Amino acid sequence: MRLASRGAGMGVMASHSKITRGTDNNIMLVSLPGARTLLNGLVLAENVGVKVKHEDRIIFGNNSVFKCVIPNEAAVDWEVSERSGGGG
CATH of the domain at 34: 2.60.200.20
Position 53 scores a pLDDT of 92
The total number of structural domains that make up the chain: 1
Q: Does residue 88 form part of some domain?
A: no
Domain that holds residue 19: 2-83
**H helices present in 1-88, as ranges:** 71-83
Position 28 scores a pLDDT of 94
Position 3 scores a pLDDT of 45
Phi and psi, residue 40, nearest 5°: 50, 40
Q: Does residue 28 form part of some domain?
A: yes
pTM across the whole model = 0.72
Name the average pLDDT for the chain: 81
pLDDT averaged per 10 residues in sequence order, the chain, 88 residues = 54 87 88 94 95 93 89 63 59
Rounded distance, CA 55 to CA 28, Å?
Answer: 14
Q: Does residue 45 form part of some domain?
A: yes
